[in-house]
Amino acid sequence: MKFLDQVKIFVKAGEGGSGSPSFRREKFIEFGGPDGGDGGEGGSIILKAERNLNTLIDYRYQQHFKAERGKNGSGKNKTGRNGETLYLKVPIGTQVFEEDNKTLIYDFKKENEEFVVAIGGKRGFGNTRFKSSTNRAPKKFTKGAIGEEFWIWLQLKTIADIGIIGLPNAGKSSLLASLTSANPKIANYKFTTLNPNLGVAFYDDKEITIADIPGLIEGAHAGTGLGIKFLKHIERCKTLLHLIDINEDDLVYSYKQVKKELSKFSKNLLDKEELIVFNKIDLIEKEQVKNKLTKFKKEIKKDVLLMSTLDKKTVSQIKSKLINYVS
């Protein structure tokens, strides 16, 4: 499925149905009273968050959405049918902005969450409503009101329990594939992952949502490489799994390079819980792994986990560790 994380759409709620100016017309009754019914309410437009969506691609080719108008009232005091509500599905993590793309209107954080983005027009009143002791045969009726209409922006910021970050080629997509049933594109060149991939891992009857964030390089906060387009997705991840290829010449530099880009984008990213993992340990000797780990921990002074995505035992250990960050 193609990925799209920002789109502008036009929403127009339905008009209210007009009231009826009808009068009773029955045999042997020369002057029947008013019997005009009210119109129906215009249909509203509601955005609804769905768990099984992770892109806004459905809105690329259709940007205009209009709800049904209410039906007009009729004689014999018949009320017009209400216009049907139009539901538009969006992924969890979608933010709704006004046309300026700056003013936040709503932020979807939970499954099945709903937000009425455009309210349908009010019904018009039939002439029966205006009958009084001084006006027994009112001709007055009202038309239905116009429904709300807006241009809005939808922006998707991925929400996940764990966000996998690191330099390009660190093995993030391979890790996601080994932890979950996700099927990301995997190859041995930079920027294989061009969009965030989402997967769900299960361990001891617990569920973990994991996002593979495209690789970060120096200058990403300023637009280099894939730029800040995907840095925003990291903001919504509860915990960061910092994956580092142990074959890098300078592991400390590689670690600090990513942390620097996160800091320049948002200082708040540095406050997130972090799990550091050295990947591809199967490609070098055990003694080299030990020496690199010792050197890294001497300067960074943080715990580090070791793994190979080809080793089911280390993958299982990582999965069990992740549970501690979401339970």
The string of DSSP codes covering 85-136 is PEEEEEETTEEEE-TTS-SEEEE--STT-EEEEEPPPPPPPPGGGG--SS-S
Q: What is the pLDDT of residue 190?
A: 38
Rounded to whole angstroms, the Cα distance separating 127 from 120 reads 22
Residue 76 three-state SS: coil
Amino acid at 109: K
DSSP, residue by residue, 287-298: HHHHHHHHHHHH
* The domain over range 160-326 is classified in CATH as 3.10.20.30: no
Strand partners, 230: none
Q: Determine contact, residues 327/202, Cβ cutoff 8 Å.
A: no
- Judged by phi (left if over 0) then psi (alpha if -120 to 50, else beta), residue 28 lies in left
Neighbour tally for 42: CB within 10 Å: 29
Residues linked to residue 193 through DSSP beta bridges, in sequence order: none
**DSSP-derived 3-state class of residue 26:** strand
Q: What is the CA radius of gyration of the chain?
A: 29
The residues pairing with 8 across neighbouring beta strands, listed in sequence order, are 153
Sign of CA dihedral 215, 216, 217, 221: positive
Q: Tell me the one-letter amino acid at 280.
A: K
Distance, in Å, from the CA atom of 236 to the CA atom of 44, rounded to the nearest integer, reads 30
Q: Which of 16, 244, 277, 282 is nearest to 123 (CA)?
A: 16
Burial class (CB in 10 A: 0-12, 13-18, 19+), 118: buried
Cβ neighbour number for residue 204 with a 10 Å cutoff: 8
In DSSP notation, 212-233 reads EPPPP-TTGGGTSTTGGGTHHH
**Residue 198: closest CA among 217, 171, 179:** 179
Is the whole model's pTM more than 0.75, yes or no? no
What's the pLDDT score for residue 217?
55
Sequence spans of domains, the chain: 1-156, 160-326
Whole-number Å distance between alpha carbons of 5 and 26:
61
Model pLDDT, residue 146 = 98
pLDDT of residue 179: 85
pLDDT in tens, the chain (327 residues): 467 889 999 999 999 999 999 998 877 665 678 999 999 999 999 999 998 888 898 999 999 999 999 999 999 999 999 999 999 999 999 999 999 999 999 999 999 999 999 999 999 999 999 999 999 889 999 999 999 999 999 998 877 889 899 888 888 888 888 888 655 443 333 333 446 677 778 777 777 888 888 766 554 444 444 445 667 778 888 899 999 999 999 999 999 999 988 888 888 889 999 999 999 999 999 999 999 999 999 999 999 999 999 999 999 899 888 888 775
Asked whether the beta carbons of 14 and 56 are under 8 A apart, the reply is no
Which of the listed CATH numbers 1.20.1600.10, 1.20.272.10, 2.70.210.12, 1.10.760.10 matches domain 1-156?
Answer: 2.70.210.12
Q: 251-265 vs 286-300: helix axis angle to the nearest 10?
A: 40
Burial letters 272-283, b for 16+ CB under 10 A, else e: eebbbbbbbbee
pLDDT at 45: 98
